[in-house]
Amino acid sequence: MERPLHLLKNWLGGCGVHGWPCTALAWAAAAVALILLALIAYWLGRGVVGRLLAFVIRRTESKWDDALLSHRLFARLAHLGPAFVLFACAPLLPPADHVLQRVAIVYFVAVGTLAVLSFLDAAVDIYGTYSVSKQRPIKGLVEIVKMLIVLFVGVFAVAELLDRSPWLLLSGLGGMTAVLLVVFKDSLLGFVAGVQLAVNDMIAIGDWIEMPKYGADGEVVDITLHTVKVRNWDMTITTVPSYALVSDSFKNWRGMARAGARRIKRAVHLDVASVRFCTGEMLDRYGREPLVAERVAELKRGAAGDGRPITNAGVFRAYVEAFLRADPRVNSEMPLIVRELDPGPNGLPLEVYCFAADPTWAAYEAVQADLIDHVVAKAPAFDLRVFQLPSGADVGRIAGSVAGR
């Protein structure tokens, strides 16, 4: 490189009397030569070396090189060639040689910074392939590191272009603290919230969260410095500010997934007018149900001993509980309760409280529907009516019977 530069310098020196370059033509020729050399260097780095590296990387089994290639690390490193040409050929263009060398140094630093940022992005992708990334996401922390790198590199670049010490500029930032706090308010809030979310293990990728205030109800797919992305069950994406998860309340269904069960809590309203004391004939008929036969026998013995009357609603409650315990789709190791709530305008609520053994959405809904369908359909067998407000068909039937009279 020294000899071509020496020859070009001697040629330019022949254009003047006291120094080189002494004419605008000579200076323009040097500038054009510099631009051409920079373009050739970039073409060699990007077009030749870059394509060769991409060809080799796509045929390797390593994940790292693929991640580096997808985040354009090698494409950014191709700018090192033009930066080197600019720095080496700057002495050919006085009196702008010192300025060009400072620009070349800033160019070097900018290329190196972009390469580091690409490496960090690739590291986040590789880290995301491990299961620990769902419990301990690092994307927010990496974004903080990237922001700090860009901040310090920016200060260094300005200091280099102004030919001043970077420490002098950093000392001057103290007076801009208030402005910086306003500009980076969201970043600072996101940083604090991210630390609290990570330390307290409040949220992780893959969690199902509900946050009605922001319309979020779905799976967490991404956690960054500023936002948390939630893919709702209707396949829409809701973006929630990170600090909102700390300042506001939200529901995390992670405990349900870890427990391997999901709660069923539904009530069937019985018509109060259909609840009555059981006769001997009614108990004999109820005793033919296999699930409740033993319980009916116990109730008969108890009634004969203390004279306490038995209601058909009580027998039905015992039947529903036995039915739930016999269903393998219901987790019998977790709380299972069939209880009556306060009677109201809609009748006597009979609430089923249990846990489905399969917490997945489709299986859970199927089990819940089957259980409630069975309770509703089985109620008449115990001389009970399910309460509902009159429908149009009911009104029409009543009107028809009145008209028939």
Mean pLDDT of 147-160: 80
**Weakest-pLDDT range from 39-43, 258-262, 332-336, 388-392:** 388-392
Per-residue pLDDT reduced to its tens digit, 46-81: 777 777 777 777 888 777 778 888 888 888 888 888
What does the pLDDT read at residue 61?
Answer: 79
Mean pLDDT of 228-236: 91
pLDDT over 70 at 400, yes or no:
no
Which residue type sits at 192?
A: V
Rounded CA separation 23/30 (Å): 11
Pair of tokens at residue 381: 């067998």
Pair of tokens at residue 111: 């290329």
What domains does the chain contain, in order, with CATH numbers? 2-195 (no CATH), 199-254 (2.30.30.60), 260-382 (no CATH)
Per-position b or e across 87-99, b if 16+ CB within 10 A of its CB = bbbbebbeeeeee
Mean pLDDT of 129-143: 73
Per-residue pLDDT reduced to its tens digit, 155-167: 777 777 777 777 7
Per-residue pLDDT reduced to its tens digit, 372-385: 999 999 999 999 99
Provide, rounded to the nearest whole percent, the portion of the chain with pLDDT above 90: 22
DSSP 260: T
CA distances from 61 to 65, 66, 83, 378 (A): 9, 9, 33, 61
pLDDT over 60 at 12, yes or no:
no
pLDDT over 90 at 388, yes or no:
no
What sections of 200-311 are H helices per DSSP? 244-247, 254-259, 280-286, 293-306
Residue for token digits 């009543």?
398
Mean pLDDT of 144-173: 75
What pTM does this model have? 0.55
Indicate the SS3 state at residue 31. helix
Per-residue pLDDT reduced to its tens digit, 339-353: 999 998 999 999 999
What does the pLDDT read at residue 20?
Answer: 44
pLDDT over 50 at 15, yes or no:
no
